[in-house]
Copies of this chain bind each other. A is one copy, B any other.
Amino acid sequence: MGRWEPNARGRLAQAALELYTEQGYEQTTVVEITARAGLTERTFYRHFADKREVLFFGTEMAKELLARSVAEAPADASAMDAVGAALEALGAEFQANAERVRLRNAVVSAHAELRERELIKLAGLAEAMADALRDRGTPDPAAGLAAETGIAVLKVAFARWIDDPGRPDLPGILRASTAELRNVLADRTPA
């Protein structure tokens, strides 16, 4: 449907990531982004709530993936096992797009503003998992605890995945981190 070039949203996101990477987030103005995408500043704000949001396109998809994975876990799986399965599904997705994920992460982690936005998105993911757990019968506060703890594991595992390009198996790191956490909680800190 288009009098105009198609996919304005995608063009804006693409232009933004390029410019943020090329010359830095703070050095890039919204006008520059829209100029590269062949649009005007006002239109940028019709597609994205603010200058940060353009980098968090995929969050909604991640949320759905986590919620669906929790919902589809075997009925006899524990809450934490359902969360673990969801995390591994998301980890596999990250790994399948490793290059883009790493590039985006480099931009985000370099700017406090963007890290803040990332954290609230992660909180949203936790909330989605908690809701899905409650739907399958997990009571409170266990649902919230399992979900928040899952995000804590995701943070730690993701950081290790980023730091160690030689170990590309993110789902494996997630599984290992969860196991490690069980040890930590069980009071047997490993050597």
Give the interface of A toward B (CB within 8 A): 78-81, 112, 115-117, 119-120, 123, 138-139, 141-142, 144-146, 148-149, 151-153, 155-156, 159-160, 177, 180-191
Q: Which 8 A-B pairs have the closest CB atoms?
A: A148-B152, A119-B119, A116-B116, A78-B187, A152-B152, A144-B156, A116-B120, A185-B185
Question: Which residues of the partner chain B approach A153 to less than 8 Å between Cβ atoms?
Answer: 145, 148-149
A149 adjacent to B186 (CB under 8 Å): no
Q: How many copies does the complex hold?
A: 2
Main secondary structure on A side of the interface with B: helix
Q: 6 interchain pairs (CB within 8 A)?
A: A80-B187, A116-B117, A119-B120, A145-B184, A149-B185, A186-B186
The residue on B at minimum CB distance from A117 is B116
Question: Which residues of the partner chain B approach A152 to less than 8 Å between Cβ atoms?
Answer: 145, 148-149, 151-152
A116 to B114 CA separation, bound complex (whole angstroms): 10
Given contact pairs A116-B119, A123-B119, A148-B156, A81 touches B187 in the complex (Cβ within 8 A): yes
B160 adjacent to A155 (CB under 8 Å): no
A156 to B181 CA separation, bound complex (whole angstroms): 18
Question: Which residues of the partner chain B approach A78 to less than 8 Å between Cβ atoms?
Answer: 184, 187-189
Shortest CB-to-CB span from A127 to chain B, Å, is 11
